[in-house]
């Protein structure tokens, strides 16, 4: 079903609901990796993610009778919005089952497109099981988020656009949840250029496709644990698995901490908000082990709630040694707080927060604890601040930074 003709047809149809997401050349990541790095910014789509492509194309292939029955799907968020928006465009009813852990922004945006939202289950697989029950019970037409070759064809239109802009692309990195996007992109990419390399990227805590490929059969993980909520899938698609086996060259896995740092890099260097799942391909760039290649990283979505965003920024600053906390003991007498503050100021440390604890010991005349959270320019500056404190008679002890 995944033929060049079907991809060409899908490419024309999805233009009705997609924005033009031109490739963005990244000077920052190109210098970091020694390659020519481009981003395919699907986070800039109207629904905030690529998923509308597959949803709209799938619905376009349904009969009028199938549409009138009503549509239902399960999704961690982006496919939900894609189906809801596509259903709205076709004027049909949509019911979306979402895991209870889905970020609020994705829930509210799905509702804003007129869909009925049901929160059920801790992960996608549990939400999907419930959606299938409702489909059987009420006769709804189920739109699978990834295990459907037609949906995968719609997602694969991204590859068509990449090749039109960058015909000599050599590597494409694609995020993997259930595998629909990876199926479409890798299959079309190989049809257009059999020599191209397409790598799927999964979080370490939800690497269901890597495990399945290793076992040479679809495998269900016992559980998933990752901040990349859009990829919290325990079992990859069964129908699309043969395409993934044939067309994916490798799987790269990245740690959650790497996603946190990638978020900070994207905000500071490209002024773009990309959700954790969409950052998988950014974090994977340093794992490629290649030089002087043309690489496209697909940024699959940008739907991140403000609370999560705040937490990720804070953790990113801590990981980069831009924020840190030290504990020092001071004599309990006037002027000591001013003195230690001057030491820090003299080396351009910026104090964010102070915690003064007089009850660290029963002998208040001996010492009080001062916890200082401060901002630095990076690791070398942090080391300089710590060394200066030591040279001035303090014994700074680094503790967990909490803002």
Q: Which residues does the annotation mark as catalytic?
A: 51, 300
**Half-sphere exposure at residue 350, Cβ-oriented, CA atoms within 13 angstroms:** 8
The CA distance from 209 to 200, in Å, is 9
Q: What is the C-alpha to C-alpha distance for residues 50 and 19, in angstroms, rounded to an integer? A: 10
The two beta strands, 171-175 and 141-142, are: unpaired
Q: Which of 266, 298, 316 represents a domain boundary (last residue)? A: 316
pLDDT number for residue 75: 85
CB-based contact 121:99 (threshold 8 Å): yes
- pLDDT for res 104: 80
Is 338 part of a structural domain of the chain?
yes
State residue 366's pLDDT score.
60
- Cα torsion 18, 102, 143, 67: sign: negative
Same domain, yes or no: 201 and 255: yes
Residue 20 and residue 43: Cα distance in Å, rounded? 11
In a domain, residue 147? The reply is no
Same domain, 118 and 233: no
- CA–CA dist 1, 184 (Å, integer): 11
Residue 191 domain flag: yes
| Residues near 204 by beta carbon (within 8 Å), at least 6 away in sequence | 226, 253, 254, 255, 256
Are residues 308 and 242 located together in one domain of the fold?
A: yes
pLDDT at 363: 62
Both 300 and 189 in one domain: the answer is: yes
CATH of the domain at 384: 3.30.70.260
pLDDT of 362 reads 61
Q: Are 299 and 45 in contact (CB under 8 A)?
A: no
CATH code at position 294: 3.40.50.1100
Residues 269-300: tens digit of each pLDDT: 999 999 999 999 999 999 999 999 999 999 99
- Please state the domain count of the chain: 3
Is 206 inside a domain boundary? Answer: yes
Are residues 118 and 130 in contact, defined by beta-carbon separation less than 8 angstroms? yes
- Residues 219 and 357 grouped into a single domain: no
Residue 290 lies in a domain: yes
Domain end: 115, 142, 169, which one? 142
Q: Last residue of some domain: 316, 340, 364?
A: 316
Mean pLDDT split into 10-residue runs, the chain, 403 residues: 94 96 97 97 94 95 92 87 93 93 83 94 87 94 94 97 98 96 98 98 97 96 90 92 97 96 94 95 96 97 85 88 90 83 92 79 69 92 94 88 64
Whether 131 and 264 map to the same domain: the answer is no
Looking at the fold, whether 162 and 232 belong to one and the same domain comes out as yes
Number of Cβ atoms within 10 Å of the Cβ of 271: 7
Question: Do 135 and 158 reside in the same domain of the chain?
Answer: no
- Shared domain for 134 and 270, answered yes or no, is no
What is the domain extent for residue 224? 4-49+152-316
Both 120 and 242 in one domain: the answer is: no
Residue-level pLDDT at 360: 63
Question: Do 173 and 266 belong to one domain?
Answer: yes
Same domain, 161 and 271: yes
Q: What is the structure's pLDDT at 222?
A: 92
């Amino acid at each position: 079903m995944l033929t060049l003709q079907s991809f060409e047809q899908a490419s024309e149809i999805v233009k009705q609901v997609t924005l033009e997401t031109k490739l963005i050349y990244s000077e920052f990541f190109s210098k970091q990796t020694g390659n020519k790095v481009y981003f395919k910014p699907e986070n800039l789509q109207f629904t905030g993610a690529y998923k509308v492509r597959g949803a709209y194309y799938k619905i376009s292939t349904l009969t009028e009778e199938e549409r009138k029955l009503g549509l239902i799907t399960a999704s961690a968020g982006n496919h939900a919005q894609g189906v809801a928006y596509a259903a709205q465009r076709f004027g049909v009813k949509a019911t979306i089952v979402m895991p209870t852990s889905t970020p609020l922004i994705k829930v509210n945006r799905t509702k804003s497109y007129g869909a009925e939202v049901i929160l059920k289950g801790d992960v996608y697989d549990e939400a999907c099981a419930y959606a299938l029950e409702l489909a059987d019970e009420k006769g709804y037409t189920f739109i699978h988020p990834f295990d459907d070759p037609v949906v995968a064809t719609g997602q694969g239109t991204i590859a068509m656009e990449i090749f039109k802009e960058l015909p000599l692309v050599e590597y494409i990195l694609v995020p993997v949840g259930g595998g629909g996007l990876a199926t479409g992109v890798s299959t079309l990419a190989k049809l257009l250029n059999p020599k191209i390399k397409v790598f799927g990227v999964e979080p370490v805590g939800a690497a269901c496709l890597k495990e399945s490929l290793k076992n040479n059969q679809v495998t269900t993980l016992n559980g998933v644990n990752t901040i990349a909520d859009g990829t919290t899938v325990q079992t990859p698609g069964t129908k699309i698995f043969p395409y993934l086996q044939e067309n994916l060259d490798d799987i790269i896995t990245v740690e959650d901490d790497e996603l946190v740092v990638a978020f900070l890099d994207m905000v500071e260097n490209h002024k773009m908000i990309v959700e954790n799942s969409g950052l998988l391909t950014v974090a994977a760039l340093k794992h490629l082990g290649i030089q002087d290649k043309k690489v496209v990283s697909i940024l699959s979505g940008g739907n991140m709630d403000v609370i999560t965003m705040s937490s990720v920024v804070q953790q990113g600053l801590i990981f980069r040694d831009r924020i840190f906390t030290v504990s020092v003991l001071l004599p309990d007498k006037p002027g000591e707080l001013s003195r230690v503050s001057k030491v820090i100021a003299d080396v351009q440390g910026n104090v964010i927060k102070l915690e003064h604890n007089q009850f660290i010991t029963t002998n208040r005349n001996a010492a009080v604890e001062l916890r200082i959270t401060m901002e630095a320019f990076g690791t070398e500056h942090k080391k300089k601040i710590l060394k200066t404190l030591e040279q001035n008679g303090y014994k700074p002890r680094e503790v967990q930074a909490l803002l």
